[in-house]
Amino acid sequence: MKKKLFIPVLIIALLFSTGFYNYFDGGQAARRFMSSVVPAARTSSAVSEEVPHVISTAFPHHEQHEGNAFVACTSLTIGLNEFTGLIFTAPPTTRTAHLVAQVSSASETEFYLLKNPDLGVAGGEIPSVNLNSSSALSPLSSVSWVEGAMTGGDYWDLGVIGSGNQGGGSVGTRDERNAAAGSLACLSVVSRSADNTVFITIAWYEPDEEP
């Protein structure tokens, strides 16, 4: 009697272990089970609503969708050994600004990204643009011209563009720098050639809360 029961039980166990049960109900039993233990997430048209999945977005890109990301950029021509740059003033609130910077030039140029430097001569404010064209939000941070060399502060980045036989070029910070509330960041450049056209960009986002 035990041998007669053992064989059918063994066959059923083999069918389930090899996934052969999918043949009988098209895998509906498995999907019903998964749906009961995994909460349903947002779905796209390319994925069946029966299959739970999660759509994720990188946090900086999420902030752009929220209208919290901005950019300020400008260009000008400077002479040999002449300094210029942009000063970034972080939000006066408790928000932290996450920023990246970029400099391009037609000829050899040195650049310095400084945290909380002693200012040179402050100039006018540079217009900031929201990176979400559908958002009417304005930044809490501000970007202004600064003329003359910076002193003091801590280096966040530095380097040279177009040294040696190379003409100009472009360089930017690979990682974000976090500017605490009320702090300053200065992107300063000095030309090592005459009649050098430089392009300076600071992009940042101001999250409502840190991730």
Strands (E), the chain: 69-78, 83-89, 97-105, 109-115, 121-125, 129-130, 142-147, 154-161, 169-172, 177-179, 184-191, 196-205
Query: Which regions in the chain score pLDDT beneath 50?
Result: 2, 9, 11, 14-16, 19-27, 29-48
* Domains defined along the chain, listed by start: 1-55 (no CATH), 59-205 (2.60.120.380)
pTM of the model: 0.67
Q: Are 189 and 110 in contact (CB under 8 A)?
A: yes
Q: Position 180: which residue type?
A: A
Phi-psi region of 173 (alpha: psi -120 to 50; beta: other; left: phi over 0): beta
Q: Residue 119: how many CA atoms within 13 Å on its side-chain side?
A: 13
Exposed, middle or buried by CB within 10 Å (0-12, 13-18, 19+), for 55?
Answer: exposed
pLDDT at 52: 56
